[in-house]
Amino acid sequence: MNFISKYNLMRRISISFFVILFLFSCTHHLTVREVNTKNISVDAQVGPLDSLLESMVKPYRDSIKNDMSSLVAVSATPFIKGKPESKLTNLVSDILLNFGSKYCKDQNTGFKPDVAFVNYGGLRASLPQGQITVEQIFELMPFENEIVLIKISGESFELMADQIAASGGEGVAGMKLGIKNGKVSNLTVGGKKTDRTATYWLVTNDYIADGGDQMDMFSNPVERINTKMKIRDVIIQSMNELYKKNGIISVIEDGRIYNEQ
């Protein structure tokens, strides 16, 4: 290759490099608003096992399997999510509200949360009647979401209620919501009518607090506290403590979200 050919080659490479840099510099900043996942089983049918690799992995896999099979609690009935409310959404939202109250007391925040919100789509599996294991809690909550407390205006709170009504229901605790024709017909917090001029502390997950699932009204709160506690860990600990204290766990549907004719 002569000098001119080499020069032309280098020139084309340089131009391509700067074009790539230009394209990347013009790329818009994107925000993840929703994540969809599915489990893909990996077993011996996929391909032959490597005996050396298997001998290295087996102790860790056996240890994890033992941990995942640990008993968390025993339930009186299956916990299945549904709308406008359900035993599963009530269970998880109650756990979040109780955790938020205890966290605020331990941290001497001077307040306790008013309401807990659990997004319906974030609950990825049901829990069975009878024995509930760590593995089943992981299936219920496979994401690494953390618990967040946010202080929002009364106006934002009512916008949240509008969104819940439009979707037909979500997981909530500490509030009561009536829905008629997809709109809010009644809304109370702690037994009192909401006040647009007041503020409310909400316990939820970081995905929702960042505005996920069309909850844009949460993305710019008056105040925010990141607990750095994973929801999954709190569910496991709370259910286990409840089981050890009271025995078989039972949850009711108490009309916290209801449809009006």
Q: What is the pLDDT of residue 52?
A: 74
Average pLDDT, the chain: 86
Q: pLDDT grade, residue 236 (50/70/90)? A: very high
Cβ atoms within 10 A of the Cβ of 171, count?
Answer: 27
The whole model's pTM is what? Answer: 0.77
Position 10 pLDDT exceeds 50: no
- Residue corresponding to tokens 């807990």: 116
CA distance 31 to 219: 12
Domain ranges for the chain: 65-152+198-254
Which pLDDT does position 53 carry in this prediction? 72
Which tens digit of pLDDT belongs to each residue from 26-76? 555 556 666 666 666 666 666 676 777 766 776 666 667 667 899 999 999
CB neighbour burial string for 245-257, b if at least 16 within 10 angstroms, e if fewer: eeeebebeeeebb
Tell me the average pLDDT across 148-162.
Answer: 97
The whole-angstrom separation of Cα 201 and Cα 223 is 9
H-assigned helices in the chain: 3-25, 51-68, 87-106, 134-140, 154-167, 206-209, 231-246
The model's confidence at residue 2, banded by pLDDT at 50, 70 and 90, is: very low
CA distance 86 to 257: 9
Q: Give the number of other CB atoms < 10 A from CB of residue 54.
A: 10
Give the right CATH number for 65-152+198-254 from 3.30.360.10, 3.90.780.10, 3.40.50.12780, 3.30.1490.270.
3.90.780.10
Closest listed residue to residue 117, CA positions, set 137, 144, 145: 145
Residue 51 is predicted with a pLDDT of 73
